[in-house]
Amino acid sequence: MQQKAEFEQRVQKALNNPQLRRNFRVAMDGLMEKRSNAFPDKEALEALRITGANIRANALVKQPELLEQLEANCTRNGIQVHWAETIEQANRIVLEIMERHQATGMIKGKSMVSEEMELNHFLEAQGNSCIESDLGEYIIQLDHETPSHIIAPAIHKSKQEIAQLFQEKHPDIPYSEDIETMTRSARKILRGKFFEADVGLSGVNFAVAETGTLCLVENEGNGRMCTTVPPVHIAVTGIEKVVEKLADVPPLLKLLTRSASGQHISTYFNMISSPRKPGERDGPTEVHLVLLDNQRSRIYADEELFDSLRCIRCGACMNHCPVYTRIGGHAYGSLIPGPIGSVIEPQKFGLENFGVLPTASTLCGACGEVCPVKIPLPKLLHRLRYEQVRNDHTGATIGQGSQRSTREALIWKLWSWAHANPAVYRGGTRLAGLLRGVVPNKIGPWTRVRTAPKIAPKSLHQLAREEGFENE
Amino acid sequence: MSKARDNILARLRARNAEKAPVDLDRTVESPDWSREERIDRFCKAMRSVKTEVHTVGRENWAKKLAELSKQKKLKNLLYAPAGPLAEPIEAVWRAGEGLPELVTREVEVDGWKEELFFDIDAAVTSTRSAIAEVGAMILWPTPEEPRTFSLVPPVHIAVVEADQLHNTFADAIAAEEWTSGMPTNALLISGPSKSADIEQTLAYGVHGPVELIVLLIE
């Protein structure tokens, strides 16, 4: 139950921080509005979502074959493909590539998989430097934080907080709270880093099996820098990112940029199919693709939870989540926050560690409604609530049954027994009516912000009978 | 290594038998737009993300390029002497006065990276085609016009042919038969680099070009 106590502490801290709440409220309202404006035609949106869901579902069903095809095509194109079952293996692969090139400096484009691997931490422990180049990632790296949103990692910070952080870390740059000035400062600082770096690392948005192409969506140009300027490019991705055909990319791209930030298209869409060829004058001479499993194949095995692998990481579910908007990304304590995080993270890192996350939802359904690939998020949250208390030992989710409480199980057993036995039920409600005066005014957390419920003197059944309703 | 590969594939295959195939309809309908509509949409979409678009003629685009370079007080302009734009540019530069220095380095970028990163003001490149629906240019960089030309200098000037405008991205992939062979790098570019990472407020000029200028040849 420790995870629950820690989670509640983080939530309390977040809720009591007006600045943080304001930052999230403003940002999420903006993102919701932008998304809504980007999809003016609701029918077209629905059709596009169905296409997106089918493209992703098709890619998942054919995943083993597509991964082999991707590997074959990438290899033919000159991209070196590596497979990692665990994050340890993936980190090791990256380190070995760096060592082979006697590289010590890495420049990174935004990659949630590298966050999942805790790659920076791993490489720094080996004496290497890793610099994040996405503006948001750079800001949180300066402050030794983790992303609070998968698309906008520094969304929890106000411009004043960022200005102070810049002042502290780069005292030579004049203090400014002007967003464009701060952005230009980051440009200046990072330009030198792109120039020097031995290795560039990126994530992958879609990996196309048909052509062996790695697709990256971005606005800043740092993704292009990381994949173009250093002599070695390493792309890390989860195995679920593979899609079958090049023709599958345009609908997914459309859904991704519009759902994420309301853009009709990102500034850059970068498609990489090979390292520098003879005669070409720039680009990395080596391109590596690291395919990471880390429990994805376990999720894959479950008929229902399988759907969570359709995710294209747009962040719309968190932007629309009333819980996320109020508590922010860090309160979740997981790498990916919000509804999709509450579904994926417990499956990757165990219900014993993250079982509390599926309960951090009102099940209002907003996440499921906006998901561009129609992941039934509320249903999956519900399913994981069940997984963590079931005790039949037949599920495949890690930490299954770990949150089961004997007391709670007994209460539900009694409840279902009472509801299955009319005599007991009648006796029980009558007794409750008689004892209504002694119900305590304080019932745990419920009455912290609410008044205690009062049991009516007569049950609904009793009132109905008095009104002359017949039971049958 | 291959052990990891075999294990992952085996795990995926172990449960795959019962998964029903998805009925995926890939037919896409392209909008019925005229050439004018395509041009209009392209310009509007690109301008909405702060791209400076100038419609020009085939005869005078290089003059416009010279005029803009002067106006923007560019110190120098990187171009590809063996690229498709070379002749008109060289002709205008020969005739013009007070124009920025034309720079060219027909060698691997590694050898003059420092100059490219810190001394070049602007680069001009051709484009392969463009997408009307969302306002994006398609570039397949070549040895003559390498990837960094459209990325590193603070100003990128791109020449787009209106005749090469596709309705949608899907149209471009199909009509140009991309599946028969992808280049080292294919790019869509829709504007100058930007970020909204601070308070969701758009700021232009992050790591890629600060300014994107499009000369659209009508």
Q: Say which CATH number the domain at A326 has.
A: 1.10.1060
Q: Is the distance from CB of B83 to CB of B126 less than 8 angstroms?
A: yes
Set of chain A residues whose Cβ sits within 8 Å of the Cβ of B203: 179-180, 182-183
**Residue labelled with tokens 């049954």:** A401
Who has greater pLDDT, A471 or B104? B104
Per-residue pLDDT, B17: 65
pTM for the model stands at: 0.94
Question: How much of chain A, in percent, has pLDDT values that exceed 90?
Answer: 87
Q: Are A301 and B11 in contact (CB < 8 Å)?
A: yes
CA distance A388 to chain B (A): 22
* ipTM score for this prediction: 0.97
Q: Are B187 and A224 in contact (CB < 8 Å)?
A: yes
Rounded (5°) CA angle A444-A448-A451: 95
pLDDT for residue B1 is more than 60: no
Q: A122 with A225, same domain? A: yes
Per-residue pLDDT, A472: 55
Set of chain A residues whose Cβ sits within 8 Å of the Cβ of B131: 265
Give the separation between CA A131 and CA A134, rounded to whole angstroms.
Answer: 9
Q: A423 with A373, same domain? A: no
Per-residue pLDDT, B129: 98
Q: Is the distance from CB of A34 to CB of A262 less than 8 angstroms?
A: yes
Give the separation between CA A432 and CA A169, rounded to whole angstroms.
Answer: 64
Q: A187 with A284, same domain? A: yes
Set of chain A residues whose Cβ sits within 8 Å of the Cβ of B174: 247
* pLDDT < 50 positions in chain A: none
Per-residue pLDDT, A471: 65
Q: Is the residue at A361 inside a domain? A: yes
Q: Are A247 and B186 in contact (CB < 8 Å)?
A: no
**What is the count of residue pairs from A and B with beta carbons less than 8 Å apart?**
248
Set of chain A residues whose Cβ sits within 8 Å of the Cβ of B204: 180
Domain map (residue ranges) of chain B:
51-217
Distance of CA A83 to the CA centre of its chain: 22
Q: A110 with A211, same domain? A: yes
Q: Scanning every residue of chain B, which has its alpha carbon at the shortest distance from the alpha carbon of A251?
A: B170
Q: Is the residue at A44 inside a domain? A: no
Q: A337 with A439, same domain? A: no
Q: How many CB atoms lie within 10 A of CB A25?
A: 13
- Domain-ending residue, one of A404, A438, A458: A404
Q: A89 with A220, same domain? A: yes
Least CB-CB distance to B12: which of A63, A220, A231?
Answer: A63
Give the separation between CA A197 and CA A231, rounded to whole angstroms.
Answer: 8
> Of A180, A224, A246, A306, which to mutate for an interface test with B (greatest number of B Cβ within 10 Å)?
A224
Least CB-CB distance to B190: which of A133, A267, A272?
Answer: A267
Q: A289 with A304, same domain? A: no
Q: A23 with A161, same domain? A: no
Give the separation between CA A145 and CA A224, rounded to whole angstroms.
Answer: 24
Q: A363 with A312, same domain? A: yes
Average pLDDT over residues B113-138: 97
Q: Scanning every residue of chain A, which has its alpha carbon at the shortest distance from the alpha carbon of B116?
A: A195
Rounded (5°) CA angle A242-A243-A249: 125
**Residue labelled with tokens 């949103």:** A149
Per-residue pLDDT, A295: 96
Least CB-CB distance to A267: which of B18, B173, B194?
Answer: B194
- SS3 call for B127: coil
Least CB-CB distance to A270: which of B18, B143, B187?
Answer: B187
Question: Tens digit of pLDDT for each residue in B173-207?
Answer: 999 999 999 999 999 999 999 999 999 999 999 99
Set of chain A residues whose Cβ sits within 8 Å of the Cβ of B31: none
Q: Are A267 and B193 in contact (CB < 8 Å)?
A: yes
Q: Is the distance from CB of A208 to CB of A253 less than 8 angstroms?
A: no
Set of chain B residues whose Cβ sits within 8 Å of the Cβ of A26: 199-200
Per-residue pLDDT, A430: 87
Q: What is the CATH number of the domain that holds A232?
A: 3.40.50.10420
Q: Are B11 and A180 in contact (CB < 8 Å)?
A: no
Question: Tens digit of pLDDT for each residue in A365-396?
Answer: 999 999 999 999 999 999 999 999 998 888 78
Class assignment of domain B51-217?
alpha beta
Average pLDDT over residues B12-25: 82
Q: Are B4 and A180 in contact (CB < 8 Å)?
A: no
Q: Are A291 and B109 in contact (CB < 8 Å)?
A: no
Per-residue pLDDT, B215: 98
Domain of A426? 406-466
Least CB-CB distance to B205: which of A155, A187, A246?
Answer: A187
Question: Tens digit of pLDDT for each residue in B76-92?
Answer: 999 999 999 999 999 99
Average pLDDT over residues B49-69: 97
Question: Tens digit of pLDDT for each residue in A155-185?
Answer: 999 999 999 999 999 999 999 999 999 999 9
Q: Is the residue at A190 inside a domain? A: yes
Q: Are A268 and B187 in contact (CB < 8 Å)?
A: yes
Q: Scanning every residue of chain A, which has its alpha carbon at the shortest distance from the alpha carbon of B175?
A: A247
Q: Are A293 and B170 in contact (CB < 8 Å)?
A: no
